[in-house]
Structure 1
Amino acid sequence: MKTENALSNSTPSQEKINRVLKLQKITLADIEDLNDAERNYLGEISTEMLVYLKDEERDNFIDKIAQVLPPSTNDQIWEHNHFAIGRAITKLIGQYGAMPPKFMIARETGLSRQTVAKHLTEYKTHPQYLAEIEQFKFMTPEILAGVCKLASNGDVKAARLYFEMVGAINKQQPNTVINEQNNYIQINNTILSQENLKQLSKEQLNQIEHIISGIGGK
């Protein structure tokens, strides 16, 4: 008797699977009489269909099986959509030099325009996205160590970046006007600034230009 039960649990019934797949919506009650093998088989078929279905057909199938999808599968669907949309945007920007519209992203990914629009609107609050951001934060010490190594080898830009990252220097000091650029030349105790140059006559400017040109020609 135990052997018969074991065999029945290890052999999927194609008829029962087909019956379930013909339903408009599949609920937990519809798969209660499926054994372990049949549930696994239904999961395999569903995964295959998600791979080749496109656009609204894919959306309709996901809606059909939504109630029986395990959380892990939902996460995988979201990750697939997120990766596909990101890759499509990168590719299309490279081709056209502009942010692509949603219909082009949908065509490139095989997702529906509705799915693309929904994902772009809601991704920031999705748990998988928040987990992805944490992955980048996790790499911070690794990146910092790399910058530190470059700085130790004499890379001045890396050294400045390292000091900024660890808070040793501020990128912008408070109450500092960053749009003002003061260029000047100091000769002994005389400072020749942009403001000084603006006050000089055309003849005086020509004399200075002549002097500098003479120095450069020597």
Structure 2
Amino acid sequence: MNSHSAVTAPPGPDDLQYIQYGPEKEAKYLGAIRDLIAKDLSEPYSIYVYRYFLYQWGDLCYMTANAAGELIGVVVCKLETHRGGPLRGYIAMLAVQKEHRGKGIATKLVCMAIDAMIAKDADEIALETEIDNIASIKLYERLGFLRTKRLHRYYLNGNTAFRLVLYLKEGTALKPTAPLYADDQMAAQYM
């Protein structure tokens, strides 16, 4: 049972569409996703990075389009076992066009992604954000994410990041994140 009580995203403007990514949407949206993220994030991602996420976890990626069908927001995520431990969701990229910020779009996209990962039985959700990205940090902390680590010079541009984690199940933070070796398993039996 999940101990996370999701924060309800604000409704946002009525003329927006929220769309779950799927392979059939690649031709229409992949270029727009790349362009939007390239404007906002400090990391230069190749087409292979986008395909890595979108081909395997497209169902965990959500987009916002305006009435004209123009992409104005996106969240790109994945979900996999973290180093032999918890099932970890990961928010890799989040971007909203500058003129559409402050309207609850990013919050709604993140909430949709969180709900999708909860439905797939995620134990936790993690992400990194630059320490000077106050709006992003506030958004995630409002949703229950905790700062767990400071990552010095994490980004290619030399900026430092915070790792933030949302624990969805009690005891997740205590789960080991590396498999025990055979000798450790034997030793554990005698302790």
Whether TM exceeds 0.5 here: the answer is no
Scaled by the length of structure 2, what TM-score is found?
0.28
More helix by share: 1
Larger Rg: 1
Larger RCO (CA within 8 A; separation ≥ 6)? 2
Give the TM-score normalised by the residue count of structure 1: 0.25
